[in-house]
Structure 1
Amino acid sequence: MEGAGHTIVNVEMVETEKNFTEEEEKHGTETKRQHFNRLDSLEKEASKVSGMASATKAASLATVMQLAFQSIGVVYGDIGTSPLYVFASTFSDRQPTPDDIIGALSLIIYSLTLFPLIKYVFIVLWANDNGDGGTFAMYSLICRHSKVSAIPNRQTADEMDLSAYKLKIPDKHLKRAHMIKEAMERSSWAKTSLLFVALLGTCMVIGDGILTPCISVLSAIEGVKKIDTSLNKDVIVMISVAILVVLFSIQRFGTDKVGYTFAPAVLIWYMFIGVVGMYNFTRHDSTVIKAFNPVYIFRYFNESPKEAWVSLGGVVLCMTGTEAMFADLGHFSVRSIQIAFSGLVYPCLLCAYIGQAAYLSKFPDHVSDAFYKSTPESVYWPMFVIAVLASVIASQAMISATFAIVKQSMALGCFPRVRIIHTSHKHEGQVYIPEINFLLMVACVMVTASFKETTKIGNAYGIAVVAVMLVTSSLLILIMLMIWQTNLLLIALFALVFVSFELFYFSSVLYKFTKGGYLPLSFAAALFFVMYVWHYVQTKRYAYEVEQKVSTHYLTRLGSDLGISRVPGVGLLYTELTHGVPAIFSHFLTNLPAIHSVLVFVSVKYLPVNKVPLDERFLLRRVGPKEYKMYRCIARYGYRDRRIGHEEFENLLMENLKSFIRIENWESRQDDETVEPSIEGSELGSEGKEEDEEIRFLDSSRRSGVVYMLGHSEVRASKDSYLLKRIVVNYVYDFLRRNFRQGFVDLQIPNKNLLQVGMNYYI
């Protein structure tokens, strides 16, 4: 369920919420005391919990090998299809000399070694959030170790008693880590910048998801020219577009059916390119093996510095799909990803590039179609078929990653509501989003039809690849400083080796900005604008709710001068606030001067964690005097948790509410130590009877019906707002809100159970 799960709050804003009822304050204080009493033991157990998580991931060797095999079909399709177009993109504007080919091959070898192998496989994969990878997972990891979150629904109350996610900094005495942590917590600029970087990485990955199907399918289909060399580009583009339409049409079946089924096809693809590469190496020019000597990189740049620098935009494409290893980590394990890449993917890719270089040293004029030209005649058509399958699977991996990223962004309140369909019972992270799927398909078809050549798309692709790498490096350095507490010399070495080279690559791909490089930046800018507008307005909207919430004395007047009657049933009033009485409540009573016999203020909060344990889903407390039968429920979800239907939610809520009543009465009896033994038994019996009566009253109220009460809010800019703010709020945000899904649709509430009252928010 999502409900009111789309607002933003800073820690400072939470601290201003002081005017909640005495009953809430008392219970909140007790909860906080229990919370802080547990911190010491939790911190001592942090390393033990981490070790247990690692042991769970390790499992048996057979399980790891099975996961490694499955990862081939889901993770490595993108990077595996890079040999289709790398040399063509590297030398797109000239015919290379033998020395150029050796220099480019040396760059490819060391790029694959430094970034996918060393950086991602052996370093970045460990910066996961309880097994989940990707930009948001790194952001989540940072937010759990410091109060720097600027995403929606982040409140102090949300974290209470959330045992699996209170892993604090292991060593409090490391001054550097604490200084960084405290400095970031004090700086609103640091919080905003951190969210900015996370959103930027997210937008670039989505841009990658648009370009991967285009370049992979188009480069694979170019092999059809073997039938007739006179085939023009338009025919190849039409075939590619048809395959793309089919590819997006089958997305509704999910990653399980589309991706896992084709793991054998990707395995065969890697075996093919590896064997063909070794064949070309032994047949044409075995001296290209000298490219393992990095001296040839320096010679390459020394001979023609500018041309070598420009060619980096093509070399970087050998690393496309590297981010997928990290983004799809949640479906597998660190060890399985490491085994699959180190044992199969890396050596096969090296063989493929070395073989192509050996062929091009004899036939440099074939560089524009190096892959298919270097394929032996006897295996040409089997290779073509497998190449098409591999390109489809490569596209599938990035499309699925895009769906998962959009879901995370939406759950954390950084993206408008869209319909999410879970396609797997085994993996909750595997989802299908029809609206996003359609937009991706339209974008891919337009890019393929307009660019028509892989070299032009490659110019755009490189920017997306390197930008995501830079974002990952930035977040990883912060994790090293604040969480891993790595030696400063090692961090400096990491920045010197990886970040400096990534910036060098980035300068090269930006050089081709006018030749297609503007495309991913345009996509990212449009997505970032949508996310920022949604984030900004929701932040202001929450601030307005805090400011306009009802006085605490309002509750004490409900049964007297307000003349409010109680009707049988359970009312679930959704609100963004976790303390105090929301203004929408008084607005309801103004229009309908009656409330249900049981009223629950429900706040649905998405936390920057991947999953929240089911037994820790709800935080419950009373609102107002006990006889009012009014409660507050904070329902907490992680960004990978599955939303449940209203009936299941009702069942869970009622069961937890009954448990809360029993625990509350038990604690009350335990605290009453001053009661004399002669009357203690009678009091215990009275309290037990009171507890049973309240639970029976809950059951009878539910049988009378459950009604969901939502505020249908219109957000408008205040009259004194400047022009840009009025445009953003009154037109852009309003357009997004009206054209995306409404809150009650996400809650899956039948119309007969829904009660909405309109209210204007002026921000």
Structure 2
Amino acid sequence: MTSTHMDKTGDGAGRKGFVGLVIGAVGVVYGDIGTSPLYALREALRPFAADGVHEAEVIGLISLMVWTLTIIVTFKYVLFLLRADNDGEGGTLSLLALLMKKMGRNVPVLFFAGLIGAALFIGDAMITPALSVMSALEGLKLVTPAFAEYVPLASAAIMIVLFAVQSKGTAAVSIFFGPITVLWFLAMAAGGVIHIGDDWRILEALNPINAFLFLTHAGSVGLIVLGAVFLTVTGAEALYADLGHFGRRPIQMAWFVLVFPALLLNYLGQGALVLAHPEAATNPFFLMYPDWALLPVVILATMATIIASQAVITGAFSLARSAVHLGFLPRLRIKFTSETNTGQIYVPSVNLLLLVGVLMLIFSFGDSESLATAYGISVTGTMVISTMLAFQFLRAVWGYSLLLAAVLLLPLFIIEVLFLAANLLKVHDGGWVPVALALAIMILMWTWTRGQAYLKRLRANNEIPLDSFIRSIERKSDHSPVTVPGTAVFLTSVPDRTPNVLLHNLKHNHVLHEQNVILTVWTEDEPYVPDSRRIKISQLSPRFVRLDITFGFMDDPDVTRALALCRESGFKFEIMRTSFYLGRRNLVRTPNTGLPAWQERIFMALEGLAIDPSDYFNLPSNRVVELGEQIAI
């Protein structure tokens, strides 16, 4: 797959196609941020509930929410980051890959920033479905209070069904995501329009001075409240992460035409309702609607939260695939659920991890109010990381001076750090959960990366240089191995060294094929590599060929398909006369070598999760020969 201008911007799709992309973006990109009105103002008002809610507090909070949406979502994501693409792809790992390509892979700050950002996103992918669905179902308590005790069970049931159908793919139902979410935003806008007239003073919230005055007078409570205010922009990272699916212009159009106006109207309407009826602060979103509309709104809200959850799950799958290809995770089993859209994937291990995490959160916290305290840290952390990477992007890719890049991004960075500090105050109230999740995932990725680097160094130091081996083997002597017909392909990650599996084959079988291919698969720091750059063939000797196959980190690493391209380059072989030799590693722990003992255990466990190279690279199973090798770590 190659990126075109239309891929990056959404131009060229035609009027009908462009509208379809806009509606699709509403469903996938904005599903998460569209569920924030369910709980954001409710949580922000909670610190003031004991003493009663006053006018200045309501107007100040709504002003903070309005300008948080404006500064972080509109300015940072919609107008800036959507232009910082890696060949049309967005997201933290995509941006990291682009920077590593420009600045080199051995930049520790970039490497750990990428690990932290990816780990925080996985933590967010667990909390978002649990919080969103519970918030929607809790609206039924206004219909019948008896339903309150069943909210966790109902939420868990919905989550189990949602995760269970992931293996079937979402292509069949995703066509409804956009229209349902459009209807949801229209319902939110209508609720806001109806209630803004309850107290016209709420329009003062459009003045950013009221947000500033609120913070200066609120004291320490203001910092606490910032954590709840930030809930209004949870899901903003999806704008950037899903850039490759819809293009820049459809995402921007959806924001300015529908999503942003609907969110503003709804928050203003909630604020006006609370000004006129302070008792509505307990659940301002659902109390905006008349009794006859309450049940339909709850049903629509539940569907919207399920769609938002699906978007986060899909994002987690895509992130896992990118992490595998960039070497942050072991080879995981990835199933493509669509024959036409390579973005529709299913990663069983990630799916199970998310489901277990979501169910634990639902039953541990019990309601959305408790879980909301744990929300925000992972999102703010991800945003701070993306701003740091964006700063490097301005310097390394766009060539901005240090001063200009700082002028543009330092104010935004300070704002996000304040939000992060506010959310960190919630660590003792449950905020430790996303921190612990992110830390665990980061340790896993760091351990895998470090272990792989150690094994690569070990092989480079211990294996025979390939050119020396070829010179010795091509000399005719009485001890030369028997030549057999056919082609042997030996996979290796260190192409200038002789693969151990080749030496083992000579040692045990005493034969050498008439054609031997030393195959190395590379992953570029760009999302897609065109077929014209897929393969590189180098003739090393009459019997030895070096073959390099290159994929992008979003490509499907189908080696069999790539080998078919060799025929176009004049390198011909018959697949049914070809054997693929793979080395099966048997890791053995040894003291005082390589990794610390605790990392050795983790690395060996991760090694056990990795699927066979033959499955990962789609090699014909009846043509694969595996030879074991013992490696001390």
Regarding TM over 0.5, the answer is yes
Match of 2:101?
Answer: 144
Match of 2:340?
Answer: 426
The one-letter code sitting in structure 1 at the alignment partner of 2:512 is I
User: Which residues in structure 2 correspond to 1:733-752 (within 5 Å)?
Assistant: 733-752=603-622
Q: Is the 8 A contact 1:259 1:397 kept in 2?
A: no
Match of 2:141?
Answer: 225
Q: Is the 8 A contact 2:7 2:246 kept in 1?
A: no
Deviation track 1:117-162 (CA, whole Å, cap 9, x = no partner) reads 111000011011111000111112212323x124xxxxxxxxxxxx
Match of 1:113?
Answer: 70
User: Which residues in structure 2 correspond to 1:535-574 (within 5 Å)?
Assistant: 535-551=449-465, 552-558=467-473, 559-574=476-491
- Distance (Å, rounded) in 1 between the aligned partners of 2:4 and 2:30: 28
Q: Is the 8 A contact 2:8 2:247 kept in 1?
A: no
Match of 1:585?
Answer: 502
- Distance (Å, rounded) in 2 between the aligned partners of 1:416 and 1:70: 32
- Distance (Å, rounded) in 2 between the aligned partners of 1:488 and 1:554: 50
Match of 1:216?
Answer: 132
- Distance (Å, rounded) in 1 between the aligned partners of 2:109 and 2:32: 30
Q: Is the 8 A contact 2:9 2:247 kept in 1?
A: no
Match of 1:193?
Answer: 109
- Distance (Å, rounded) in 1 between the aligned partners of 2:180 and 2:4: 36
User: Which residues in structure 2 correspond to 1:684-703 (within 5 Å)?
Assistant: 698-699=573-574
The one-letter code sitting in structure 1 at the alignment partner of 2:592 is D
- Distance (Å, rounded) in 2 between the aligned partners of 1:264 and 1:84: 20
Deviation of 1:708 (Å): 1.0
Deviation of 1:63 (Å): 3.1
The one-letter code sitting in structure 1 at the alignment partner of 2:597 is R
Match of 1:241?
Answer: 156
The one-letter code sitting in structure 1 at the alignment partner of 2:158 is I
Match of 2:118?
Answer: 202
Q: Is the 8 A contact 1:541 1:715 kept in 2?
A: no
- Distance (Å, rounded) in 1 between the aligned partners of 2:621 and 2:547: 23
Q: Secondary structure at the match of 2:376?
A: helix
Match of 1:342?
Answer: 256
- Distance (Å, rounded) in 2 between the aligned partners of 1:542 and 1:57: 44
Deviation track 1:44-93 (CA, whole Å, cap 9, x = no partner) reads xxxxx997976874554443332111111111110001000001221234
User: How has the CA–CA distance of structure 1 residues 570 and 533 changed in structure 2, closer, same or farther, with 3 Å as cutoff?
Assistant: same
Q: Secondary structure at the match of 1:572?
A: strand
- Distance (Å, rounded) in 2 between the aligned partners of 1:94 and 1:328: 37
Match of 2:564?
Answer: 651
Instruction: Say if 2:535 is the partner of 1:618.
Output: yes
The one-letter code sitting in structure 1 at the alignment partner of 2:611 is R
Mark the structure with the bigger radius of gyration.
1
Instruction: Say if 2:626 is the partner of 1:756.
Output: yes
- Distance (Å, rounded) in 2 between the aligned partners of 1:575 and 1:320: 43
- Distance (Å, rounded) in 2 between the aligned partners of 1:478 and 1:115: 18
The one-letter code sitting in structure 1 at the alignment partner of 2:248 is V
- Distance (Å, rounded) in 1 between the aligned partners of 2:417 and 2:72: 13
- Distance (Å, rounded) in 1 between the aligned partners of 2:597 and 2:425: 37
User: Which residues in structure 2 correspond to 1:424-573 (within 5 Å)?
Assistant: 424-551=338-465, 552-558=467-473, 559-573=476-490
Match of 2:83?
Answer: 126
Q: Secondary structure at the match of 1:721?
A: coil
Match of 1:18?
Answer: none
Match of 1:77?
Answer: 31
The one-letter code sitting in structure 2 at the alignment partner of 1:754 is V
Q: Is the 8 A contact 1:74 1:260 kept in 2?
A: no
- Distance (Å, rounded) in 1 between the aligned partners of 2:619 and 2:33: 43
If asked which structure has higher relative contact order (CA below 8 Å, sep 6+), I would say 1
User: How has the CA–CA distance of structure 1 residues 305 and 55 changed in structure 2, closer, same or farther, with 3 Å as cutoff?
Assistant: closer
Q: Secondary structure at the match of 1:92?
A: helix
Deviation of 1:603 (Å): 0.7
Deviation of 1:749 (Å): 3.9
Task: Choose which of 692, 704, 708 in structure 1 pairs with 2:580.
Answer: 708
Deviation of 1:561 (Å): 4.8
Deviation of 1:579 (Å): 2.2
Q: Is the 8 A contact 2:377 2:431 kept in 1?
A: yes
Q: Is the 8 A contact 1:254 1:431 kept in 2?
A: yes
- Distance (Å, rounded) in 2 between the aligned partners of 1:489 and 1:554: 54
- Distance (Å, rounded) in 2 between the aligned partners of 1:357 and 1:124: 30
Q: Is the 8 A contact 2:140 2:295 kept in 1?
A: no
Match of 1:5?
Answer: none
Supply the RMSD in Å over aligned alpha carbons: 2.1
- Distance (Å, rounded) in 1 between the aligned partners of 2:338 and 2:4: 27
Deviation track 1:531-567 (CA, whole Å, cap 9, x = no partner) reads 1111011001111121122143332332425430111
Q: Secondary structure at the match of 1:604?
A: strand
Deviation of 1:568 (Å): 1.6
The one-letter code sitting in structure 1 at the alignment partner of 2:565 is L
Structure 1 unmatched runs, 5+: 1-48, 151-190, 662-694
User: How has the CA–CA distance of structure 1 residues 66 and 487 changed in structure 2, closer, same or farther, with 3 Å as cutoff?
Assistant: farther
Deviation track 1:635-670 (CA, whole Å, cap 9, x = no partner) reads 111111123374x354334x14xx245xxxxxxxxx
- Distance (Å, rounded) in 2 between the aligned partners of 1:712 and 1:523: 31
- Distance (Å, rounded) in 2 between the aligned partners of 1:227 and 1:58: 48
Q: Is the 8 A contact 1:462 1:509 kept in 2?
A: yes
Deviation of 1:740 (Å): 3.5
- Distance (Å, rounded) in 2 between the aligned partners of 1:124 and 1:476: 8
Deviation of 1:717 (Å): 5.2
Structure 2 unmatched runs, 5+: none
Instruction: Say if 2:65 is the partner of 1:65.
Output: no
User: How has the CA–CA distance of structure 1 residues 231 and 294 changed in structure 2, closer, same or farther, with 3 Å as cutoff?
Assistant: same
Deviation track 1:255-303 (CA, whole Å, cap 9, x = no partner) reads 4334332211100100010011010112x11111001112212321233
- Distance (Å, rounded) in 2 between the aligned partners of 1:556 and 1:649: 29
Q: Is the 8 A contact 2:69 2:232 kept in 1?
A: yes
Deviation of 1:317 (Å): 0.4
The one-letter code sitting in structure 1 at the alignment partner of 2:18 is V
- Distance (Å, rounded) in 1 between the aligned partners of 2:11 and 2:538: 37
Deviation of 1:362 (Å): 2.1
Q: Is the 8 A contact 2:580 2:623 kept in 1?
A: yes
Deviation track 1:312-347 (CA, whole Å, cap 9, x = no partner) reads 111000001100011011111101110000110000
Give the percent of matched residue pairs that are identical in Structure 1 and Structure 2. 28
Deviation track 1:686-727 (CA, whole Å, cap 9, x = no partner) reads xxxxxxxxx6xx45xx55x221101112334554338x6233
Count of aligned residue pairs for this structure pair? 625
Deviation of 1:742 (Å): 2.7
Q: Secondary structure at the match of 1:484?
A: coil
Q: Is the 8 A contact 1:107 1:315 kept in 2?
A: yes
Task: Choose which of 40, 53, 78 in structure 2 pairs with 1:86.
Answer: 40
- TM-score between the two structures when normalised by the length of structure 1: 0.79
Q: Secondary structure at the match of 2:520?
A: strand
- Distance (Å, rounded) in 2 between the aligned partners of 1:583 and 1:444: 43
Deviation of 1:348 (Å): 0.3
Q: Secondary structure at the match of 1:633?
A: strand
Q: Secondary structure at the match of 1:370?
A: coil
Match of 2:304?
Answer: 390
User: Which residues in structure 2 correspond to 1:653-732 (within 5 Å)?
Assistant: 653=566, 655-656=567-568, 659-660=569-570, 698-699=573-574, 705-716=577-588, 719-721=591-593, 725-729=596-600, 731-732=601-602
- TM-score between the two structures when normalised by the length of structure 2: 0.94
Q: Is the 8 A contact 1:73 1:260 kept in 2?
A: no
The one-letter code sitting in structure 1 at the alignment partner of 2:252 is Q
The one-letter code sitting in structure 1 at the alignment partner of 2:31 is G
Deviation of 1:381 (Å): 1.8
User: How has the CA–CA distance of structure 1 residues 56 and 584 changed in structure 2, closer, same or farther, with 3 Å as cutoff?
Assistant: same
Q: Secondary structure at the match of 2:375?
A: helix
- Distance (Å, rounded) in 2 between the aligned partners of 1:494 and 1:287: 33
User: How has the CA–CA distance of structure 1 residues 54 and 214 changed in structure 2, closer, same or farther, with 3 Å as cutoff?
Assistant: closer
